[in-house]
Structure 1
Amino acid sequence: MTFSEEDARRRDQGDPGHRELFRVPPAEGGGYPETAYMAGNSLGLQPRATRDELLADLDAWAELGVEGHLEAARPWLPYHELLTGQAARLVGALPAEAVVMNSLTVNLHLLMVSFYRPAGTRTRIVIEDAAFPSDSYAVRSQARFHGLDPDTAVVRLRPRAGEDCLRTEDVLAFLRDEGDTVALVMLGGVNFLTGELMDIPAITAAGRAAGAVVGWDLAHAAGNVPLRLHDWDVDFAAWCSYKYLNSGPGALGGVFVHERHLGDPDLPRFEGWWSTEASTRFEMTPTSRPPATVEAWQISNPPIFAMGPVRTSLDLFDKVGLDTLRERSLRLTAYLEGLLDEVLPGRPLAQVTPRDPERRGCQLSVRTTAMGANELARRLRHEHGVIADARQPDIVRFAPVPLYSTYHDCWRVAQALAAIFPRSEEKA
């Protein structure tokens, strides 16, 4: 390859990232001590600070018992408030518009209780055909809950024939032509399979102009690309924090609701103890008094030991800055793409992620036609020490995460693919 290992090492010296802040799994093959970890779009690595931070919360429980609600160094009662400003900055929200709570699909359901309100001929939910299955299950179940046939109520927008990615102009055309039948647009900000970054502001504007509510699943966008949810006039959004936000498996997610909806007494919403004003919570009255913030969508008191790792991760994003990370992401992903441009031709492999850097996050998805995705991922890991994410039947996803991935990791990916699929002249 034109790009040498020495070149990759030099790039890492000049553009190092923050790998030292994370625990990187040891490699099983390839002759290197650490894994070339390219699966941060599935589960991020553990920040080194997480263990001590979590132990500190455990120690508070041991030493204070119930008094930790008010007397811990990070008191449990208002613990979620410690994350509010950071979460808001991460997604471009006002502090009143963002809260950390629950898991992604639970949050989407709670939000759809409020924002999917089919009436008359305006009943349809628009998602992308390649939506993550959980989103498909969620919107179909919401349609059934309202007495609708999900096969007709849910519209799955598909790419053009022979293409893998959904064009923005096709989404806009659908909303222009059929928007009067749409109650809710709910797309993925970054598609989990292809890594395509959707034009969130343009689609949001078109959906709202058509009279629909527009929400976004930001599972693969939060911590990956800069977001300006308030300025883009998004109605609602939800995200998880175990991918690019590195908060651990099954970590708590986040919710955004635009300020124009906050305090609206006519908006239906499920409620619980944490949905009421904090100042009146312990009056134990039977009627909720929800605040005019997104906290009104909370239901239960937050799990403290699950919130600590989220706070630790958000601290990192505050210190480094998402705009800075995006700049490195563009450089790192372009480098991997350049390597793949040398490796993929003549092999049973093809990139399906958009080549335009502005239309993707830090993910390049590759289609394999010579073996199943699981088998390719297995060989990458066990033979070359590269961990990537397989999506059956034929997509392997590589995510050069700017916080901890290196140029050398990218070089190892290209070397591994070249070794697994030698060209005929290389075999000779």
Structure 2
Amino acid sequence: MKIAVEGCAHGELETIYDTLQYLEQKEGFKIDLLLCCGDFQASRNEADLRCMAVPPKYSNICSFYKYYTGLKTAPILTIFIGGNHEASNYLQELPYGGWVAPNIYYLGYAGVVNVAGLRIGGLSGIYKGQDYMKGHFEAPPYSDSSKRSVYHIRNLEVFRLKQLSQTLNVFLSHDWPSGVWEYGDKAQLIRFKPFFEDDINRGHLGSKPTQELLNFLKPDYFFSAHLHCKFAAVVPHECGKVTKFLALDKCLPKRRFLQVVDIPHDANLKTEICYDLEWLTILRLTNHLLSVKNVTNYLPGAHGNERWCFTPNEEEKSFTLNQFGDLVVPNNFEKTSEGYCGHKTKNFTQPEPVCNSQTVSFCNKLLIDDPLSLIINLSTNSVIDDSNVSKTPRKLVLPQPVNESESFEEFFSAEVTETEIEAPVEEQLNSSKTFKRRNASIYQK
């Protein structure tokens, strides 16, 4: 399966798709799946822009709304995670994932899905220590503070991901894992980004929780963005396995923001998104740990008196499957807000929170809670206590594995079918220049 991996999209969805289609025509192959590593900026309208933490000069509607409203259709199945520049109000409607537009799927705060035999996981947001152990308390309209804290990762999602026992083929994060630079060309990275050296020396570059996930999950491929540069590394694990790490730049001319990787898959399966049974079961078993309060959310550990390991057994997974039913993600996208009308308005207000029918249906089937629904309920209560979050699952009422024989050298060699695009803008796409081989494995415009 040919998978295009994109760094920070920054709302340039139309440009990304145009680039991929140009590449398909030029190189004579078909891209099966697009993975985006955050800062997707799924802004449907100007009200969404008020919920995005960016300076005013970057508060642009860009092109996502065209795919949301149906003016255009995404030509490639797309899966993305959130970063630190997002229409957070929209993404909060889908905490466990869902369609933000036809053929464009968000993984949620954290998630695992299956596509044609490939197991793909991801974690949205960036790490900030002051919010890591809090609940998901934010909801629109946001304050200046909560507009930023809403995209900070939480210990619950990392805890849930660390319950996984089955191999992941691909993992996505917006933050880099801390320490990953030790397994690539660190000197070149510092030459390209000199100000990284001080952060590296102080241990401030990257995310410790993401590093924990890299070492625990040991995925075949790990893709990141956020730091706006390309960096490759091969991370060894004690078990003898390796993870191929790649970070990519943002979508701008002459920037290394896109890579195409060929990963073996099950050719007998459709290229469609399916829920992951182990992940669904983990969500169900840990629902009582969900917090929507702006206080420290402690999670169980090995020395406590309650269950702390939620890696599901076969009986628990069987119960989930019987309860949930078909694992194919339904095409149940439904607009929850009007799309951009094509001209600027004087809409400077943030919208009220909206419950998304996709999330309501998902939670009802799995018997878990929707964080946003809980917050909406809590907003009518004068007293907030633990009784507002169920301690047992309840029903909502609100409306092929990678080829291990491949060597390190092959990962960076001509034999690996990886293609890099640096410049996506229309005038470059229409240029008479052709792709030229820059080195053994990389093409550039």
TM-score (norm 2): 0.27
Report which of the two has the higher share of helix. Answer: 1
TM-score (norm 1): 0.28
Of structures 1 and 2, the one with the larger relative CO (CA 8 A, separation 6+) is: 1
